[in-house]
Amino acid sequence: MMRPYVIIVSAMSIDGRIASKIGYSRLSCPFDLKRLHEVRASVDAIMVGANTVINDDPSLTPRYVKAEKNPIRVVIDGRLRIPTTAKVIRDGEAPTIIVTTEMAPREKALEIARFGVEVWVMGRDRVDLGKTLERLYVERGVRKVLVEGGGRLNWELIKEGLVDEIRLTVSPYVFGAGTSFIEGEGYPTTSEGPRLRLRSVSVCECGNEVVLDYVVDREGIIKNGHVTT
């Protein structure tokens, strides 16, 4: 299977949360936001989960940096729960693809399509993320995808072995509860999860955040800039 290179970028509290118990998620300083937008400007597509659109209503454009083009926005929404008022549907700033399943209401798909947004059905009751990435690669020429959460989508992608790199900003806050950076059934021990190799670590220009870059150790899998699994 040919698929794009997949990077998760996220900011988390020191206790590993990307959002508080009430869904508050503003953890990035202005430097970190600029860094995120630089990554946005360097990829072909940006992927998020349904809850992130419902809670944050992000526009997912690289507006804090000079970008040649806006990447395709891809929302994984198995039941088409996101509102049609969402910026990714309404603002027309970039192409958007909503990826869903056969379980989604047909009328909602038609309603979304009326805004010129594509709806892909990629599975019966779960979105097949591997096939979705493959389709983005083959039909849209997508070679690099930035995943901006949330925790549930991060877990699904990691569980499927579809993540190549993780860039994490640790912000100096404590939430104590809320959404974890990776939110799923979990692994019983360290042996079952992906093997990560620390590529770089730096202190943010603000002086109070740490930026970690981990790559998933999968020797020999990336060939000629393409990922084959």
Ligand X SMILES: NC(=O)c1ccc[n+]([C@@H]2O[C@H](COP(=O)([O-])OP(=O)(O)OC[C@H]3O[C@@H](n4cnc5c(N)ncnc54)[C@H](OP(=O)(O)O)[C@@H]3O)[C@@H](O)[C@H]2O)c1
Binding residues (CB under 6 A) for ligand X: these are 10-11, 18-19, 23, 25, 27, 48-52, 55-56, 76-79, 81, 126-127, 129, 148-153, 156, 179, 183
CB of 172 to ligand X, least distance (A): 14
Shortest Cβ contact with ligand X: which residue?
150
76/227 with CB nearer ligand X: 76
102/217 with CB nearer ligand X: 102
CB of 144 to ligand X, least distance (A): 18
63/217 with CB nearer ligand X: 63
14/217 with CB nearer ligand X: 14
CB of 65 to ligand X, least distance (A): 18
CB of 13 to ligand X, least distance (A): 9
Q: Map the chain to HEC letters.
A: CEECEEEEEEEEECCCEEECCCCCCCCCCHHHHHHHHHHHHHCCEEEEEHHHHHHHCCCCCCCCCCCCCCCEEEEECCCCCCCCCCHHHHCCCCCEEEEECCCCCHHHHHHHHCCCCEEEECCCCCCCHHHHHHHHHHHHCCCEEEECCCHHHHHHHHHCCCCCEEEEEEECCCCCCCEECCCCCCCCCCCCCCCEEEEEEEECCCCCCEEEEEEECCCCCEECCEEEC
CB of 224 to ligand X, least distance (A): 28
50/94 with CB nearer ligand X: 50
